Amino acid sequence: MTVEPSQIADEGSVAFAQSETLEAVHELELTYLGPQSVLSGLKASFKDLDVAERKVLGSQMNAARQKLEAAAQGRREELESAARAAQLATEGVDLSESLGKAKLGHSHVITQTWERLEDVFCSMGFTVADGPEVETDWFNFEALNLPPAHPARSLWDTLYLDSSQLEGLGQEQLLLRTHTSPVQIRSMLRAVRDNSGPPIYVVCPGRVYRRDTADATHLPVFHQIEGLVIDRGITMGDLAGTIESFVKAYFGENMTSRLRPSYFPFTEPSAEFDISAADGSWLEVGGCGMVHPNVLKAGGLDPEEWSGFAFGFGIDRLAKIRYGVEDLREFVTNDVRFLSQF
């Protein structure tokens, strides 16, 4: 009884699938497909067959040969890719950099707070403005409704600059800005000059200076962020709502704010705003109010047409509250044990 080509193909396919090496595959190719193979040997029986029978056997042989070739090729590819993977695993070079124990630096906690505040206010539709740290008396005080000799000037212990030696500076009294409020005036004048507003919705974070001795709650150089909104029909309700949204966005949904009547020459009415603390007490954060008509006029705007509100608060103080820092001086003594906590 002669062997069926399909039987050879089945048997050979199993053998190929079980082969473990490329050499074994090659050996099996000789066994099943070579000139000495059983399949090739079947050709010898052609002479005993008629044309129709030859045709049948021939096509069975072809099918078997194709199946065996495919099995050989498939197994060879499997073994080759396994060999490549094994080689990559053993010879691969790890190019990833190792930092070992080295510590990465990061932004100072005040910078982080500053940037976070910009993000929060930008998400509320404000843009960021800035102004110089060396200001004129006019921008820092006079334009903010604090004429020379105004008693409220004593609220800001000012560091004046002696500009008499600097030629070509004119008669302007220079000083280190005591708050970011001069940027209110600069923003209004800039908007009028560039024809880009009002409406004006800006915040201005920046460094400010006061003639103060450093202690747990004061620094002679610190940071404030000013907010200014000028539009038509702005009310105290808009101010309260903006402060409340800010407090929730920055501190979290369970925090709330309140306004307390206060006095600033550049706002009328004026208020101080506090935020709620976990123990039910209130922490004072900053000042705010409706922009005084004289300030609008100094900014080149008609108080009959435009109204607005402004607020300003200490960035350092906010960071102190948020992170529970005891002493503001920690922010400037540059002790890495303190700074690396943030």
Q: Contact positions toward ligand PHE, by CB under 6 A?
A: 179, 181, 226, 264, 267, 286-289, 310-312
CA angle 207, 208, 209 (to 5 degrees): 135
Q: What are phi and psi of 19, to 5 degrees?
A: -65, 145
CB 282 → ligand PHE: shortest distance, Å? 18
CB 247 → ligand PHE: shortest distance, Å? 16
What whole-number distance in Å separates Cα of residue 232 and Cα of residue 295?
16
As given in the structure block, the two tokens for residue 220 are 């002679």
CB 309 → ligand PHE: shortest distance, Å? 8
Using CA atoms, how far residue 269 sits from 24, 26, 300, 309, 330, in Å, is 95, 96, 21, 10, 35
Instruction: Name the residue nearer to ligand PHE (CB basis): 2 or 127.
Output: 127
Instruction: Name the residue nearer to ligand PHE (CB basis): 113 or 270.
Output: 270
CB 152 → ligand PHE: shortest distance, Å? 10
**Which residue has tokens 């009002």?**
198
CB 102 → ligand PHE: shortest distance, Å? 42
Instruction: Name the residue nearer to ligand PHE (CB basis): 15 or 298.
Output: 298
Instruction: Name the residue nearer to ligand PHE (CB basis): 12 or 198.
Output: 198
CB 217 → ligand PHE: shortest distance, Å? 14
CB 270 → ligand PHE: shortest distance, Å? 6
Residue 162's nearest CA partner among 153, 174, 149, 148 is 174
Instruction: Name the residue nearer to ligand PHE (CB basis): 29 or 272.
Output: 272
Report which residue type is found at 249.
A
- Cis status, amide bond into 132, omega within 30 of 0: no
- Residue spans of beta strands (DSSP E) within 81-237: 127-128, 134-136, 160-161, 174-176, 200-209, 221-231
What whole-number distance in Å separates Cα of residue 91 and Cα of residue 244?
61
264 and 289 in contact (C-beta within 8 Å)?
yes
Helix (H) or strand (E) segment spanning residue 286: strand 282-291
Instruction: Name the residue nearer to ligand PHE (CB basis): 5 or 182.
Output: 182
Cα-Cα-Cα-Cα torsion 77, 78, 82, 84, nearest 10 degrees, comes to 10
Instruction: Name the residue nearer to ligand PHE (CB basis): 19 or 307.
Output: 307
CB 310 → ligand PHE: shortest distance, Å? 4
Instruction: Name the residue nearer to ligand PHE (CB basis): 25 or 229.
Output: 229
